[in-house]
Amino acid sequence: MTTIQSITIAIIEGLTEFLPISSTAHMKFAHPLLDIAPSPFVDMFEVVIQLAAILAVVVLYWKKFFDFKRFNFYIKLIIAVIPALIVGFFLKKHIDAALANLSFIAWVMVAGGVILLFVDKVFTKPIIDSEEKLTNKTAFIIGCGQVLSIIFPGLSRSAATIITGMSQKLTRSAAAEFSFFLAVPTMLAASAKSFLDTYSDHPEVLEKSNLITLLLGSAVAFIVAVLAIKFFIDFLKKYGFRIWGIYRILAGIIMLVLIWKGVIRQ
Please determine, for residue 125, whether its predicted confidence score (pLDDT) is greater than 90. no
Each residue's pLDDT tens digit, 221-246: 999 999 888 888 788 878 889 999 99
Measured in degrees and rounded to the nearest 5, phi and psi for residue 142 equal -65, -40
pLDDT (average), residues 162-188: 92
Please determine, for residue 30, whether its predicted confidence score (pLDDT) is greater than 70. yes
The pLDDT confidence band at residue 204, using thresholds 50, 70 and 90, is: confident
Each residue's pLDDT tens digit, 44-77: 899 889 989 989 989 988 888 888 888 899 999 9
Whole-number mean pLDDT of the chain?
90
User: How many CA atoms are closer than 13 Å to the CA of 183, on its beta-carbon side?
Assistant: 33
Please determine, for residue 207, whether its predicted confidence score (pLDDT) is greater than 90. no
User: Is pTM beyond 0.85 here?
Assistant: yes
86 closest CA partner among 40, 182, 178, 151: 151
Please determine, for residue 266, whether its predicted confidence score (pLDDT) is greater than 70. no
Q: Which residues pair with residue 128 across a beta bridge?
A: 170
pLDDT (average), residues 131-138: 93
pLDDT (average), residues 249-258: 96
